[in-house]
Amino acid sequence: MDNIDPVGKAPPALNPAALAPAAGMAAIFDAWAEPQNVQRNERLRADLTADIYRDRGELLAPYIG
C-alpha cells in the first residue's frame, strides 16, 4: 500500500486517453473507409497459399500421426 498516490494522481494506466479507441460499428466503418488494393490482396493471398501448401506436411503432422 506504500505505492498508492494521493487522490488525483492515478497511475498512467488508469488515466483516460485523449481519444477513445474505435470499437463496434465505428471500427467496422473505419475498416471500410481504408483504401483497398485488389492486386496487392490477390498477390498476398497467392503467397500465403503457396506457403501453406509448401509447409502442409509440417502443419498436418500433429493430426495425421
Examine residue 61 and state whether it is found in any structural domain, yes or no. Answer: yes
Q: Which domain holds residue 56?
A: 37-65
Residue 30, in any domain of the structure: no
Is position 58 within any domain? yes
pTM: 0.37
Query: Which residues are CB-neighbours of 30 under 8 A, at least 6 positions away?
Result: 22
Which triple of cell numbers denotes residue 29? 466503418
Give, as one character, the DSSP assignment of residue 14: G
pLDDT tens sequence across 14-62: 556 666 666 777 777 777 777 778 888 888 888 888 888 898 888 888 8
Residue 42 forms part of a structural domain: yes
Quote the cell numbers at residue 3. 505505492
